[in-house]
Structure 1
């Protein structure tokens, strides 16, 4: 978008927005938010869509939570003990926790919630594989007993993304894990106003009077979730320019992601603050390959595709200021983090389209169609996808572009069949950095040989490495196995890394106490 069009959109903001916001109550204690994706599914166990993750942390709570430094802290848990042999974990819930329906939270609820989550999440599957038992001790205590040590129990119960281990009443948690629960009953800081939910228009949340925040200061997803707004409205605005105009006019307070075209302009606006995420607070661009179908069932052809990718060009397509992306990053656990490593990255030396083209025929490619699912409606996926397609074509792949909206792409991505029957070959997606720092939770390796996870990569070496990492006894051993996992990831080409960048939030400068985190957080903040 050129500057003249930007200026025109912003100048007309009040006229454009007056009708859209005519029925929003002008309360001082109402926070108005625009997310990057629509809220459609109200159960974080059956979907990994980011809007559902935001929803989850509003209405639900977790046993443990991650803070701004990446440390896992007790949240619903008051205290816990680990036996000397590291086989028995005993958890004690905080006193007085209540569900939004007025009933008290019990250990039975926690056990049922863990079991439901573990059916859908790789870390949960791994824990249950080595679990001897998970049982209620008393109304506020429960015990996890293992057959062999597992190094990431606390990190699993506090993981912030993909399938989130939220707590629900046992009567809901005991329902099938592949179907969304029929009602929303949580113990989080907000209540969901289901009656007035208008999908595609607005979702409203109200402060939960039954919620009891922890005494510690808020940090990331951990600590005391003190709520200073009576109400949070998630307002649907598909058009990117309209979102920015709404922020400019003060009709919304917070944008989950500000479009790259507007960042430089908004940085000059003293009424708007642009967040500055770094390291695990950034995003990794990903190319997902269909390992179940030709041509990418052939590891040699996957390696050629990997070689053809130029991250600098993909990142440049976003139009971001240079301080908001890295020209190159091949670290599976994100660059500029404690887990960053160059293990396995020697294969990227002398890479490029020219070398990839020279090796493609040698790899056994027979000019099979490569169907690339392209999300035209996404401000992030659209430009990156077009550059990726161009790079693949320059390398000699017969790429067929399948353009649609993101929802259609997300649904088609579940099709494991051949391209002639509605299947696919490549699709670009994004992963939040906060989900990548833990090797056993990182989707790049954690779903190895998992039948239900799109892409269907499977490498026996990684199965063994994951098992050994789960039982590692020291930080040094954990780090060594993490390096070996990254090397195996690149060698097998589970996915292709497209580059690391920021998709920063933007918010009105009269908000204070904003916790800048990869996930939008609406506690702790207030309006001056």
Structure 2
């Protein structure tokens, strides 16, 4: 059987199963989202994956939220008030907030959640380090008293992507270390998680939270009135992109987190489909996560050899995207098109070269040691780029031990620090969005410097005082200058190697009304046209 015929048969079988499942449900048809990878981890603080973040936005809520313009607005909060010197911040919760177990949301819950998140996240750790005390004044009010200037209090509490400071009950936050997953999912968000129906890695089900109290203003990005209009929502997993495309076009699923690139021309001609137009901060940056703890990449020259081998144009071309959806020439670690875009030290990565990589390997004294690279074979976004990365590194002379697997399994290994012979790793191809990269304090190659908090483990001494200055700074122009200096140090020390920026749009059925085109799935406010 030819590959197209095999895919066609597989797609038909999958659609038959989906149709049968729908027919067996007399209730309203669920809103079905096809996520990029399967959901395995339900804890947004312990889990570093986007799919866990997407899950958490369904069941949890945030104190502060980013709107569609990138501005921060109160969400669970009624208000915040800084002191004149901005060294003390008072926060007041909205009235009537309630967790899914029926208990009220209190200031104690907010504070416990902030403290747990602050042990795990890059900007969260810096907020906690700058804090003298977090005081609870009453059931609805708490105060953050700073010990030193910190110009990013609201940005920290409103961080939109991994790791997001979601609020959970204090009894759970206080009892669970930030690197361990919570045993109980209890949020106050617009949807309720149906645990009995969860099939890890395959299907996750939710129902509308009838007790949710949305804000009165209109929904805007992650902010505003989150109105859960769909009675049921399902996250489903389809690893084969042809299945995703067939399920969407035939109406068996409603929304694809990422449109399969090969099908974009067809989707654009289909009047029953809408393609996301979100750009800027919602774009994606591919890269290679480097384990700085283990040889050989604890050697800076080895990291520079890796960086020299990565041709962003060739790697991004693996997706076959039209020119208006790629930015292979971007040399900004914050992503081009975002607030802190700059080209500091861009010349170091502007012209990749396999010959240069080979020369650097020789200079580093590389003796053909085995390098474990984990390949996320089930990710339609990461895997095509990963295959080009692997090919270029092999051609440059890196002795790669390619270990293919599903992303959920790789993510579990990625957060460990085991030696190679005990399941450790050297390199992991990954992707991040601008939500994760656009600010120095959350940027994967800058914000975690010398924190000993994430698996890649870089520590650049020269970056410390510049980061400290940025942390304390409130003036936008001065922040930009400091951000450029931080980029220079990140590129020179190869804390994280970029391999290309591109846009990967979502796509959904046109009968869905109220879809918020934000850059990742926002499933409140959606209803079907009658």
**Under a length normalisation based on structure 1, what TM-score does the superposition of the two structures give?**
0.95
1:113 corresponds in structure 2 to 113
Q: Which residue of 2 aligns with 1:429?
A: 430
- 1:303-314 pair list within 5 angstroms: 303-314=304-315
Q: Is the 8 A contact 2:370 2:400 kept in 1?
A: yes
Kindly state the Cα deviation for residue 46 of structure 1 after the two structures are TM-superposed: 1.0
Q: Distance in 1 between matches of 2:167 and 2:128?
A: 17
CA gap of 1:12–1:457, structure 2 versus 1, over 3 A, is: closer
CA distance in structure 2 between the partners assigned to 1:181 and 1:423 by the alignment: 25
Q: Secondary structure at the match of 2:295?
A: coil
Match of 2:18 in 1: 20
1:494 aligns with 2:495: yes
The change in CA–CA distance for 1:52 and 1:353 in structure 2 (over 3 A counts) is same
Deviations 1:118-153 (A, max 9, x none): 121122211121211101111111000011110111
Give yes or no for contact 2:436–2:442 (8 Å, CA) kept in 1: yes
Name the SS of the counterpart of 1:429 in structure 2: strand
2:149 equivalent to 1:173: no
Of stretches 405-414 and 310-319 in structure 1, the one that deviates more from structure 2 is 405-414
Q: Distance in 2 between matches of 1:12 and 1:202?
A: 18
Shift of 1:174: 1.3
Map of 1:466-485 to 2, 5 A cutoff? Answer: 466-485=467-486
How many angstroms apart in 2 are the aligned matches of 1:83 and 1:253?
Answer: 47
Tell me: CA distance 1:82–1:390, structure 2 relative to 1, closer, same or farther (3 Å): same
Pairs within 5 Å for 1:405-420: 405-420=406-421
Task: Report the CA distance shift for 1:416/1:180 in structure 2 as closer, same or farther (over 3 A).
Answer: closer
How far is the alpha carbon of 1:256 from its aligned partner? 0.8
Counting only pairs closer than 5 Å after superposition, residues 153-192 of structure 1 correspond to structure 2 as 153-177=153-177, 178-192=179-193
Q: Distance in 2 between matches of 1:26 and 1:270?
A: 28
**2:38–2:408 CA contact under 8 A, matched in 1:** no
Conserved? CA contact 2:28–2:231, under 8 Å? no
2: distance between equivalents of 1:456 and 1:299?
13
SS at match of 1:115: helix
Q: Secondary structure at the match of 2:327?
A: coil
What is the alpha-carbon distance in structure 2 between the residues aligned to residue 506 and residue 79 of structure 1?
35
Q: Which moved more, 1:492-501 or 1:102-111?
A: 102-111
Equivalence for 1:150: 150
**Counterparts of 1:524 and 1:224, CA distance in 2:** 8
Q: Which residue does 2:68 correspond to in 1? A: 68
How far apart in 1 are the matches of 2:424 and 2:194?
38
Conserved in 2, the CA contact under 8 Å of 1:275 and 1:505?
A: yes
The equivalent of 2:217 in structure 1 is 216
The alpha carbon displacement at 1:305 in A equals 1.5
| Structure-1 residue corresponding to 2:55 | 55
Alignment CA distance shift 1:26-1:248 (3 Å): farther
Offset of 1:28 from its aligned partner?
4.5
What SS is found at the alignment partner of 1:483? Answer: helix
Instruction: Tell which deviates more after alignment, 358-367 or 251-260.
Output: 358-367
User: Structure 1: how far apart are the matches of 2:223 and 2:350?
Assistant: 41
- Unpaired runs of at least 5, structure 2: none
Q: In the aligned structure 1, how far is the partner of 2:525 from the partner of 2:310?
A: 41
CA distance in 2, matches of 1:507, 1:109: 36
CA distance in structure 2 between the partners assigned to 1:29 and 1:393 by the alignment: 49
Q: Secondary structure at the match of 1:358?
A: helix
Q: TM-score, normalised by structure 2?
A: 0.94
Task: Determine the structure 2 residue equivalent to 1:259.
Answer: 260
- Structure 2 counterparts to residues 213-292 of structure 1, below 5 A: 213-292=214-293
Question: CA contact under 8 A between 1:48 and 1:161: conserved in structure 2?
Answer: no
Are 1:264 and 1:321, in contact at CA under 8 Å, matched by a contact in 2? no
Kept in 1, the 8 Å contact 2:38–2:236? The answer is no
Deviations 1:230-276 (A, max 9, x none): 11112233332212111111011111112212222222221122213
| Residue of structure 1 in register with 2:300 after alignment | 299
How many Å apart are 1:422 and its aligned residue? 3.3
Distance 1:349 1:23 in 2: 51
Distance in structure 1 (CA, Å) of the matches to 2:70 and 2:138: 31
Q: Counterpart in 2 of 1:101? A: 101
**1:186-215: CA deviations, max 9, x gaps?**
111111112332334432211111111112
SS of the residue 1:227 aligns to: coil
Matched with 2:4 is 5
Q: What is the CA deviation profile of residues 270-318 of structure 1, one whole-angstrom value per residue up to 9, with x for unaligned ones?
A: 1122213312111100111121222211112211211121100000111
Q: Which moved more, 1:414-423 or 1:431-440?
A: 414-423
Please report how far the alpha carbon of residue 9 of structure 1 lies from its aligned counterpart in structure 2 after TM superposition: 5.2
Confirm or deny: 8 A CA contact 1:317 1:384 kept in the other structure.
yes
Deviates more, 1:379-388 or 1:23-32: 23-32
What is the alpha-carbon distance in structure 2 between the residues aligned to residue 195 and residue 361 of structure 1? Answer: 56
Contact 1:10 1:244 in 2 (8 A): no
Inter-CA distance 46–417: structure 2 relative to 1 (3 Å threshold): closer
Counterpart of 1:374? 375
More displaced 10-residue stretch of structure 1: 286-295 or 19-28:
19-28
Instruction: Tell me the SS of whatever aligns to 1:444.
Output: coil
SS for the counterpart of 1:443 is coil
Structure 2 distance, partners of 1:251, 1:487, is 48
Aligned residues: 525
Structure 2 residue matching 1:144: 3-state secondary structure: strand
What do residues 456-506 of structure 1 show as CA deviations (whole Å, max 9, x unaligned)?
A: 111112222221111013112211111111111101100110101122211
Partners of 1:191 and 1:207 within 8 A in 2: yes
